[in-house]
């Protein structure tokens, strides 16, 4: 067995390679997490030595495996989408620890945690806060931390800001040699840091999802538009030049995004037909006159 | 899963061709090239044991979750008298093949090799064949080996197991 092969799936180790810190054996991130979830212990499959930390090679994210279960499942869910993102090498000297970030109300941690009190470092599901609010008969629009009663920033504003900006992964603290003694979910800065990482991953995953929906829609537009472009156009069809192609592609695609609310749903919308129809509209606007196609 | 088994197939074939350390594994390959989740193996009895000079066939089935789940391996029915093998069914008791002790870093070749080692080193403390385990535990190796040879040479235990009953 060569060194650069994941012992679990026997495929070459790629950028998702991750190292068990205690024994140094390397696996694909997904493979070793899948195994640990199955085995219910934290032993290395190769040497059976327990390892409490897993380090993701490319991002230098150090994950505390003892806070296993939900926290890591959330990361695993997100890992698929973030592994595609190009992360800057400037982060390579740093490593972060993902601490426990359970919802302060329901106690679970998953990728849907979306509220975080920056005053007392408590995370929540927005839905849990809303339910609680209804239960206590508080019909106020704003949400409050149920630990320290600090008001959260307005929901719409913060979510739109998060979904539209890509921030650099830039965490404040560096863990060079994590000591197991002072580690715990009570260290506020660590929770703070983990929260930032988690919300970062969430927003990047969201952006990626939107981008992939857009790409799928654009494919339909391009296919329809190619019929009008240069030589590939069948005779009798109106042709467009490169600039017109780009403009029409852009405006038709945008209208289709809005039409489908930024989610690609080929079941309910016939994108080919819609794209053809909108392209005809654009073409007739471009140079009015009968169109033969 | 499919690609891991395909890789194992290639690696195993190469190891069996080139590595004398596995010369006792006479064959280990999928039953057919189309279905990689059923394999067959043939091993030689370990030297200096009652099993020496005999060949044993193993059936292997691989779950969809392999290698997270261990492979299912068993001898052909009524071919292996051994204190950790159920003679009638061929079922093998080997902790490595338990879900609790399995490791995904293992592969089929090493599992088969472990079974080969089990033939030479019975574990009388977790027996499937009480008679052989008792003889082995009382260190009556001569009787143990004779009984093993008796079965290997075609002696029959009978369907109701009279020997077991006379204990």
B11 contacts A45? CB cut-off 8 A: no
Q: Could you read off the pLDDT tens digit of each residue along chain A, which spans 293 residues?
A: 446 889 999 989 988 888 888 888 999 888 888 888 787 778 899 998 888 778 877 766 666 666 544 444 555 445 444 443 333 333 333 333 344 466 777 766 666 677 777 766 677 788 888 888 777 777 777 777 777 777 776 544 444 333 333 333 333 333 333 333 333 444 556 566 666 676 777 677 777 778 888 888 888 888 888 877 765 556 666 777 778 888 888 888 888 888 887 788 888 888 888 888 888 888 888 766 554 44
Rounded to whole angstroms, the Cα distance separating A192 from A179 reads 19
B103 to chain A: which residues are within 8 Å by CB? 45-46, 48
B93 is catalytic: yes
Which residue in this structure is represented by tokens 């289709």?
A: A256
Q: Is the ipTM of this complex over 0.90?
A: no
pLDDT at B86: 93
Residues of B within 8 A of A45 (CB-CB) are 103-105
DSSP 3-state of A129: helix
Most B-contacting residue of A11, A30, A39 (CB-CB within 10 A), to test interface:
A39
Q: What is the pLDDT of residues B83-122, one digit of tens each?
A: 999 999 999 999 889 888 899 999 999 999 999 999 999 9
Q: Which of the following is catalytic: B74, B83, B93, B134?
A: B93
Cα-based distances in Å from B135 to B75, B83, B121: 22, 9, 14
CA–CA distance, B118 with B130 (Å, rounded to integer): 16
Residue whose pair of structure tokens reads 């190769």 in the numeric block: A46
Tokens of B128: 């499937």
What's the rounded Cα separation, in Å, for the pair A14 and A80? 13
Instruction: Give the position of tokens 């369907």.
Output: B159
CA distance B19 to chain A (A): 13
Contacts of A38 in chain B (CB under 8 A): 68-69
Q: Please list the residues that pair with B75 across neighbouring strands.
A: B58
Least CA distance to B10: which residue of chain A?
A: A10
Question: Nearest CA to A202 among A98, A132, A119, A52?
Answer: A98
B101 → chain A, closest CA residue: A39
Q: Are A60 and A91 spatial neighbours (Cβ–Cβ below 8 Å)?
A: yes
Beta carbons of A7 and B105 less than 8 angstroms apart: yes
Q: Which residue in the set B11, B67, B69 is minimally distant from A8, CB to CB? A: B67
Rounded CA-CA distance A70/A102 in Å is 9
Q: Does A11 touch chain B (CB under 8 A)?
A: yes
Q: Report the pLDDT value the prediction gives residue A181, as an integer from 0 to 100.
A: 37
What's the CATH fold of domain B2-165? Ubiquitin Conjugating Enzyme (3.10.110)
Helices H / strands E in chain B, number of each? 5, 4
| Nearest Cβ partner for B4 among A1, A9, A48 | A9
Q: In what order do the strands lie in the sheet with A53-56?
A: A26-28, A17-20, A53-56, A61-64, A96-98
């Amino acid at each position: 067995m060569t060194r650069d092969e994941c012992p679990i799936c026997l495929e070459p180790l790629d950028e998702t390679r991750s190292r068990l810190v205690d024994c140094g054996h390397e696996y694909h991130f997904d493979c070793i997490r899948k195994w640990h979830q199955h085995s219910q212990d934290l032993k290395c499959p190769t040497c059976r030595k327990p390892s409490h930390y897993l380090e993701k090679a490319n991002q230098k994210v150090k994950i505390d495996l003892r806070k296993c279960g939900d926290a890591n499942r959330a990361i695993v869910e997100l890992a698929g989408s973030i592994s595609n993102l190009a992360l800057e090498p400037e982060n390579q000297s740093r490593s972060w620890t993902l601490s426990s970030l359970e919802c302060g109300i329901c106690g679970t941690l998953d990728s849907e945690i979306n509220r975080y009190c920056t005053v007392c470092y408590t995370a929540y599901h927005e839905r849990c806060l809303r339910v609680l609010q209804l239960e206590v008969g508080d019909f106020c629009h704003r949400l409050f931390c149920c630990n320290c009663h600090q008001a959260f920033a307005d929901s719409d504003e913060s979510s739109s800001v998060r979904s539209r900006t890509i921030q650099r992964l830039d965490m404040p603290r560096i863990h060079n040699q994590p000591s197991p003694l002072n580690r715990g979910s009570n260290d506020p800065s660590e929770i703070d840091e983990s929260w930032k990482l988690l919300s970062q991953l969430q927003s990047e995953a969201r952006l990626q999802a939107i981008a992939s929906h857009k790409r799928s829609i654009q494919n339909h537009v391009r296919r329809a538009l190619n019929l009008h472009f240069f030589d590939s156009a069948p005779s009798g069809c109106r042709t467009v030049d490169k600039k017109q192609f780009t403009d029409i592609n852009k405006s038709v695609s945008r209208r289709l995004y809005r039409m489908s609310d930024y989610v690609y749903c080929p079941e309910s919308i016939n994108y080919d037909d819609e794209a053809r129809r909108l392209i005809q509209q654009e073409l007739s606007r471009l140079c009015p006159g009968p169109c033969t196609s | 899963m499919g690609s891991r088994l395909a890789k194992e197939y290639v690696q195993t074939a190469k190891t069996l061709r080139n590595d004398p350390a596995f010369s006792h594994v006479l064959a280990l390959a999928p039953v057919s090239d189309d279905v990689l989740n059923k394999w067959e193996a043939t091993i030689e009895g370990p030297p200096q044991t009652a099993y020496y000079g005999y060949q044993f066939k193993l059936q292997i089935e691989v779950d969809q979750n392999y290698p997270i789940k261990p492979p299912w391996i068993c001898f052909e029915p009524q071919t292996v008298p051994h204190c950790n093998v159920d003679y009638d069914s061929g079922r093998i008791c080997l902790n490595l093949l338990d879900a609790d002790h399995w490791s995904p870093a293992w592969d089929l070749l090493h599992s088969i090799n472990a079974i080969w080692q089990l033939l030479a080193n019975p574990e009388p403390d977790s027996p499937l064949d009480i008679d052989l385990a008792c003889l082995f535990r009382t260190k009556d190796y001569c009787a143990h080996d004779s009984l093993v040879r008796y079965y290997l040479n075609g002696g029959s235990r009978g369907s109701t197991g009279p020997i077991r009953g006379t204990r």
